[in-house]
Structure 1
Amino acid sequence: MIKKIIFDYGGVISYGSRTDALAGILKLDQIQREALEKRLKHPDIKKAAVGAYNKEFVSTEIAKVLTDITYNDICYAIYLASQPESKMIDLVIKIKEDYEIYLVSNSIPEYSEYILDHCNHLFDGIYLSDKYHARKPTDLFEKIISIDESFFSNSIYIDDVRANLHLPQTYGAIPIEFISYSNLIENLTELSIIE
């Protein structure tokens, strides 16, 4: 019996890649987009996602490669890219009537601030990589299991990254790879979560 639905944030609640979102908001040309993408793949950004740096670190790092865009515009773009899709919020609110709803996500401090300030009320619990100093697909899940070994039992786990689905499934979650909103609705309907 399903008791909880567990969502990833980036790529699911706010779907699409963060790089694509930022590039679109900032109206980057191809050269700028490639510079942004390269910077976001840098090991220091991965460290930010486990809480190694302060809130402004990622914005500052992006500003180093997008020198013709103001720091304030970069911060605002990150804010906009952090926002959830309205259809996903409506879905979370709908299923929250019958299920516990959790969020488990790799997150940089700028995104985490937005999530905690604006989305906290939607979830029964939130596990963000920068707050727990561990990233998916392994370390963050293992930290959660060390806190509550039955966390993934009787649950559905939704993530857009296939590699992140294995460990929750091992611990009892029904995995759903997020491909699109309509595909998610089909999966949740098949599982009788929604009608």
Structure 2
Amino acid sequence: MIKTIIFDFGDVFINLDKENAIKNIFNLLQIEKLSEEILAVNNLYEQGLVSTDEFITFYLENFPKLSRQNLIDAWNSILLDLPEHRLKFLKNLKATTNYKLILLSNTNELHIDWIKENISIYNAFKNCFDAFYLSHEINLRKPNANIFEFVLSKNNLNASECLFIDDTSEHILSAKSLGIHTWNLNPKHEDVTDLSKVKPDLF
């Protein structure tokens, strides 16, 4: 029996424009693909293992024509909106069920700062959760199994009693390997508000 629902954030609640963001970064840096070094620094930043200043300095040192603000704007261009209907769904889920609700997101300080400034319903959204984990704050990231083990341990959860919802198949496979139930949501065709249709046994 499911007792806890663990949600991803990006493309589950907040809409993302991944293709446009990649295009913006490529155009800004005048590159055709991200190097192993860039990917490694991005991952470290997402885990909070390098600071925002260190992250920005890395780019400015490697791309001297780059300005700090242009980099930040391109980096944040992945972020779109958090639709009201998803907040309404979440509030209703909290009010009408006994599920423990947890958010587990790979994110970084620049993105969260942008969200806090530009998404007016962010605080109301965050308040719906019993626990709220951002990768850069806990120094762990999906799909590594230890981030799921951290959530299970921190909240005294049994994997078999948890449902994890994420749009990235790699993250889903990692959760499944620990015995967590999953829904690999496809943001092009599905919405998190379809939960009762996808998992009718939950209601």
Q: TM-score range by the shorter chain?
A: 0.7 to 0.9
> Partner of 2:40 in structure 1?
43
Matched, 1:86 2:94: no
Give the residue type in structure 1 aligned to 2:197. T
> Partner of 1:161 in structure 2?
168
> Partner of 2:142 in structure 1?
136
Give the residue type in structure 1 aligned to 2:8. D
1:14, CA displacement in angstroms?
1.8
> Partner of 2:197 in structure 1?
189
Secondary structure, counterpart of 1:38 in structure 2: coil
Secondary structure, counterpart of 2:12 in structure 1: coil
The alignment yields a C-alpha RMSD, in angstroms, of: 3.8
| Structure-1 separation of matches of 2:171 and 2:63 | 30
> Partner of 1:101 in structure 2?
101
Residues 29 and 21 (structure 1), Cα distance of their counterparts in 2 relative to 1, 3 Å cut: closer
Secondary structure, counterpart of 1:15 in structure 2: coil
Q: Between 68-77 and 120-129, report the one with greater CA deviation.
A: 68-77
Residues 34 and 127 (structure 1), Cα distance of their counterparts in 2 relative to 1, 3 Å cut: farther
Q: Quick one: percent identity of the two aligned structures?
A: 19
Is residue 5–residue 101 contact of structure 1 (8 Å, CA) maintained in 2? Answer: yes
Q: Between 2-11 and 83-92, report the one with greater CA deviation.
A: 83-92
- Structure 2, gaps ≥5 residues long: 117-121
1:156, CA displacement in angstroms?
1.9
| Structure-1 separation of matches of 2:80 and 2:55 | 13
Q: Deviations over 1:99-144 (max 9, x none)?
A: 3321111111222445677442131111111111111112311222
Is residue 36–residue 66 contact of structure 1 (8 Å, CA) maintained in 2? Answer: no
Q: Between 35-44 and 162-171, report the one with greater CA deviation.
A: 35-44
| Structure-2 separation of matches of 1:19 and 1:66 | 25
| Structure-2 separation of matches of 1:90 and 1:36 | 41
Q: Which has the higher contact order (CA 8 A, sep 6+)?
A: 2
TM-score calculated relative to the size of structure 1: 0.72
1:177, CA displacement in angstroms?
0.8
Give the residue type in structure 2 aligned to 1:15. N
Instruction: Count matched residues.
Output: 191
